[in-house]
Structure 1
Amino acid sequence: MITTKQKTTIIFAVPALLMVTAFFGNLFVEGWSWSPFDFIIAAALLFGTAFFINLVIRSEKTLVSKLIVCFIILLVLALIWIELAVGIFGSPFAGN
């Protein structure tokens, strides 16, 4: 059985690994040019998402409702990330 502390560690390890991957990709992949501000925004989005998913998982709701809320949180993350990257909605903070 996985303890609550182990679940929390796993949840926050995923964005940490993604940030480390992005850092090394920025160093070694030609054409990958993230600025420090890009890393700050990515970290805020990823760790914020991990924080909210951790809150949902620790709640006393049913498994189905936890899965639905986690899916919605991940969908919002994906939409914001895509908007920042390429601007599918044409908002003022849209990417290229």
Structure 2
Amino acid sequence: MMRALAAPAANRIRAIYWTLAALVLLLPAIAMNVTADVAWGPGDFALMGGLLGMVGIGIEMALRARLDARARLLAIAAMISLFLLVWAELAVGLFD
């Protein structure tokens, strides 16, 4: 059966995601005040904000798609996995 996620559940998931995205973006800003080991510039914040925004839009699209629950979860898991791979590559050059 294919149907869209109910509005209250989608709104709750949306609020949780965007709150977590904002907190993830705040962590380096806080860490820069605590230690000299974290040195993000404006470009780093812009790139991370863009990545988080793209993942958020992808999750929104998956939640709004008329897919069954398993396909929706697989799509979201794939987006999060791809985000983590890109993040790891940008952070430490995992694939060099």
Q: TM-score, normalised by structure 2?
A: 0.82
SS state of the match for residue 30, structure 1? coil
Alpha-carbon shift at residue 6 of structure 1 (Å): 3.1
Given residue 84 of structure 2, which amino acid in structure 1 is its aligned partner? A
Structure having greater relative contact order (Cα 8 Å, sep ≥ 6): 2
Poorly superposed stretches of 4+, deviation over 3 Å:
none
Aligned-pair identity in percent equals 22
| Superimposed CA distance per residue, residues 27-78 of structure 1 (whole angstroms, 9 cap, x where no aligned partner) | 2223111111111111111121111111101211011001111111011101
Q: TM-score, normalised by structure 1?
A: 0.82
**Structure 2: gaps (5+ residues):** 1-5
Superposed counterparts of 1:51-70, under 5 Å: 51-70=57-76
How many residue pairs match? The answer is 90
**Structure 1: gaps (5+ residues):** 91-96
